[in-house]
A and B are shown apart, each in its own frame.
Chain A
Amino acid sequence: MWRFVGLRVLQAVPVILAVITVTFFLVRAAPGGPFDTEKAVSEQVKAALEARYRLDLPIHEQYLSYLGDLFKGDMGPSFYYPGRSVNDLIFQGLPITAELGFYALIIALVIGCLAGVFAALKPNTAQDYVPMSLAMIGICMPSFLLGPLLVLIFGIWLDVMPVSGWGQTMGDKVLPSITLGAMYAAYIARLSRSGMLEVMHQDYLRTARAKGLPERIVIWRHALRGGLLPVISYLGPAFAALLSGSFVVETVFQIPGLGRFYIQAAFNRDYTMILGTTVFLSTLIVLFNLLSDIVAAWLNPRLRYQFRK
C-alpha cells in the first residue's frame, strides 16, 4: 500500500515541475511588458523597476531564481499592486475560495448522492426520471446563467437573499454555494445512480437479501460502499472543476476569492500573480487527485488486494 502511495507521490513531482515551467515561459512569452505604462515616464524608472523584478536577467537565470524563491515559499511581488506580495494576495483569497468550495462540495455530495441513490432504487420510473431530469438541467445550465437567475428570483423579486458579497451580510453564502454546487450535484447524481445500478444486482447483495436483511440495511451497509466508489474517484476531478467553477461564481457574486483574483490578474497582466496562482492551484489539484486515488484504492478491496502482494 505504501509503495503505491510513494510511487504516486513521486509521479506528482514532475507534473508540478512541468506546470511551473510551462506557465513561466507562457507568461514571459506574452506580448507587452508589465512596465510599459511606465515608459511614458522615464527610462530610468523603467530600468529601476525591471531590476527590482529581475527582468533584466537572461531568461534562464530568471527561471532558476524563480524556482529558488518558490522553494523557499516566496512567490514574488505582485506587478499590479506594488507593495504587496503574491503570497499576501493568494493567502487572502484562498480561505474564501476554500470555504465556498467546501460548501459547494457538501451540497453537491449530499444532494447528488441522495438523488442518485434514490433514483437507482426504482430505475425507469418517475422516481428515476424526475431527479435525473433535474440533474440534466444542472449540467446544461451554465453557472453564469443559474447564478444571476437565483439572484433575480431570491435576491430581488422575493428579497430573501443578499445579492452579492461573502461574509458581509447574513445569508450571503447560500446562493453562491448553491450555484457552484448545482452542476456537481448533477454529475454526482448521475455517477451514483449508475454506480448503484451496477452494484444492485450483484450476487453479494442477493445473498444479503436472501438472508432476510431489511432492504434499508442492504442498501446502507453493503450497496453504498461499492456503488459510491465512482463518486470517490470523481472527487479529484471534481475538486479541480470546483476551483475553475469558482471563477464564475466569484465574478457573478463579487466574492473576493482566489478565482476572482486570478481573473483580475490575467486581465491586468499581473504576471507574478498569474504564475503564483497557477502553480499554487495546480499543486493543490495534483495533491487532491493523489488523495482521491489513494482513498479510492483503499476503499476498493480488489485494488487493495493487488497491492498486498
Chain B
Amino acid sequence: MTEEAQQILNAMPKGTSLWEDALHRLRKNRLAMFGLCYLGILIFICLITPWIAPYGYEEQNLRLGAVPPNSEHWLGTDTFGRDMFTRILYGGRVSLLVGFIATFVALIIGVAYGAISGYAGGKVDAVMMRLVDIFYALPYMIFIILLMVVFGRNLLLLFLAIGAVEWLVMARIVRGQVQSLRQQEYVEAAMSLGLSPFAIIARHLIPNALGPVIVYTTLTIPNVMLLEAFLSFLGLGIQPPQSSWGVLISYGVETMEEFPWLLIYPGLALTITLFALNFFGDGLRDALDPKASRD
C-alpha cells in the first residue's frame, strides 16, 4: 500500500467488533462499573477470608454477649459474643457460593435445554416448551419449601432446588435466540457442510446467543441470593453455626431493637451486593443491546 493510502487508513476510525462495541458502552456506564468493581473486591475478600478473618466464625464469648462496634470487633458481636465482621465475611462466602452455583446449575440446564429445543424445532420444540410452560405455572416457592422441609436441609439440595427453578426462563431465552439464529445463512452453510447438529449448536449457535444469556445470568444471581435468604429466614436454608447473609438477617430481625447492628450490617451487605449485581446486569444488557426492551 502506498504511504498516502496507509495514512488515510490510519486516520479512519477503527472498525470495532460487536464485542468491542459492547465493552465500550459498558465502560461508559458508571453505575455498572461501580457494580463490577464492588463485586470484584467482594469476591476477592471472600476468597481470602479464611486468612484474613480476625476470629473464627463460630468462636463464642458468652460472657461478652452482644456489643456494638468497637476497636476489637469492627462490626460488633452477636448474642453469643461472636465477631460480626468475621461472620459477615463468611456469610458472604456462603451467600455468593449459593448464588453462583445455583445460577450455574440453572445456566447449564437452561442453555442445553433451550438450545436443543430451539434447534430441533417442530414437534420436539413444541413438547419441550409445553413442559417449560407447565413448570413455569407451578408456584415454585411452594415446591422449594416442600422439598426442603421434606427431604432435609442440606446445602446440595438447596443448590438443586433453586437451580431447578431458575432454568426455565433461561431455557426460553436461549430457545428464542437459537430459533432466530438458526435462520442465519452461516448456519445453513454449516449444515450443508455436514457438521453434526451438536457441533453446530456448540460452536455456532451458543456463542452467538451468549449475549442475553450472560445478561440474564447476572440478573439471576441476585434473585437466587434473595431466595436463599428467604429460605434461611424460614429456617430452611443454612444451619447453625454456619451462616449466610440471609441467616444473619433473620437473627438480626429478632433483636433489632436491642442490637440494631446485628441487622444493619448484614442487611447492608446483602442490599449493596444485590445493587451491584443488578446495576452491572443492567449495564451489560444496555451495552449488548441498547435497543432491547427491558424486563
Once the chains bind, are B145 and A137 in contact (CB under 8 Å)?
A: no
Docked-complex contact A140 and B274, CB < 8 angstroms: yes
* A140/B271 in contact, CB under 8 A: yes
Question: Known: A194-B293, A266-B149. Is A144-B249 also a contact (CB below 8 A)?
Answer: yes
Is B222 interfacial (CB 8 A cutoff)? yes
B278 touches A140 (CB 8 A): yes
**In the bound complex, what is the Cα–Cα distance between A84 and B186 (angstroms)?**
65
* Closest Cβ neighbor of A251 among chain B residues: B234
- Tell whether A232 is near chain B: CB-to-CB under 8 Å: no
Query: A156 CA to B258 CA in the complex, in Å?
Result: 12
Interface residue B267 (Cβ < 8 Å from any Cβ of A): yes
A290 shortest CB reach to chain B, Å: 10
| Residue A76 lies at the interface, judged by CB distance under 8 Å to chain B | no
For the complex with contacts A145-B249, A247-B141, 8 further pairs of A-B residues with Cβ separation under 8 Å are A14-B134, A15-B133, A144-B253, A194-B294, A282-B137, A282-B138, A282-B139, A286-B137
Binding site for A on B (CB under 8 A): 130, 133-134, 137-143, 145-147, 149-151, 222, 226, 229-230, 233-234, 249-250, 253, 256-257, 263, 267, 270-271, 274-275, 278-279, 293-295
Shortest C-beta distance, B250 to chain A (Å), equals: 7
Docked pose: A88 CA to B294 CA in angstroms: 43
Q: How far is the CB of A108 from chain B (nearest CB, A)?
A: 14
Residues of A within 8 A of B149 (CB): 266-267, 269
Please tell me if the beta carbons of A137 and B271 are within 8 angstroms of each other in the complex: yes
**Which residues on A sit within 8 Å (CB–CB) of B147?**
26
B267 nearest in chain A by CB position = A145
Q: Would you call B230 and A142 a contact (CB within 8 A)? A: yes
Shortest CB distance A101–B (Å): 13
Interface string of A13-40 (1 = CB under 8 A from B): 0110011001100110111000000000
22 examples of A-B residue contacts, CB within 8 angstroms: A11-B133, A14-B130, A15-B133, A19-B137, A22-B138, A23-B143, A26-B150, A30-B150, A139-B278, A140-B270, A140-B271, A141-B267, A190-B294, A234-B295, A243-B139, A244-B140, A248-B230, A266-B149, A269-B150, A281-B142, A282-B138, A285-B137
A interface size (C-beta, 8 A):
52
Contact in complex: A191, B295 (CB < 8 Å): yes
Which of B139, B270, B275 has the most C-beta atoms of chain A within 10 angstroms of its own C-beta? B139
Q: Is the CB of B274 within 8 A of A18?
A: no
Residues of A171-213 contacting chain B, CB below 8 A = 187, 190-191, 193-195, 198
Which of B130, B253, B295 has the most chain A CB atoms closer than 10 A to its own CB? B295
Provide the bound-state CA to CA distance between A226 and B135, in Å: 30
Grouping DSSP codes into helix (H, G, I), strand (E, B) and loop, the B interface class, with mixed when no group exceeds half, is helix
- Whether A148 is near chain B, meaning CB under 8 Å from some CB there, is yes
The proximity string for A residues 239-275 relative to B, scoring 1 for CB distances below 8 Å and 0 otherwise, is: 0100110011001000000000011001101000010
- Bound-state Cα–Cα, A284 to B279, Å: 34
Closest residue of chain A to B222 (Cβ to Cβ) is A140
Looking at B151, B222, B249, B271, the one whose CB has the most chain A CB atoms below 10 A away is B271
Do A278 and B295 touch across chains, with their CB atoms under 8 A apart?
Answer: no
A144 engages B230 (CB within 8 Å) = yes
State the CA gap A289–B136 with chains docked (Å).
11
Answer yes or no: A136 CB below 8 A from chain B CBs: yes
Selected contact of B250 from candidates A14, A15, A137, A144, CB within 8 Å = A144
* Docked pose: A274 CA to B143 CA in angstroms: 10
Which residue of chain B has its CB nearest to the CB of A247? B141
CB <8 Å contact, A266 and B146: yes
* Chain B residues within an 8 Å CB radius of A194: 293-295
- Tell me whether A144 and B233 are in contact in the complex, defined as CB-CB below 8 angstroms, given that A190-B295, A194-B295 are known contacts: yes
Ranked nearest first, the 10 interchain pairs of A and B with the lowest CB-CB distance are A194-B294, A244-B141, A140-B274, A30-B150, A148-B253, A266-B149, A15-B134, A144-B233, A18-B134, A15-B137
Name the residue on B nearest A236 (C-beta).
B137
Report the minimum CB–CB distance from B135 to chain A (whole Å): 9
B134 to chain A, nearest CB (A): 5
Contacts A14-B134, A148-B253, A152-B257 given; indicate if A142 touches B270 (C-beta within 8 A). Answer: yes
A165 is an interface residue with CB less than 8 A from chain B: no
Identity of the chain B residue whose Cβ is nearest the Cβ of A267 in the assembled complex: B149
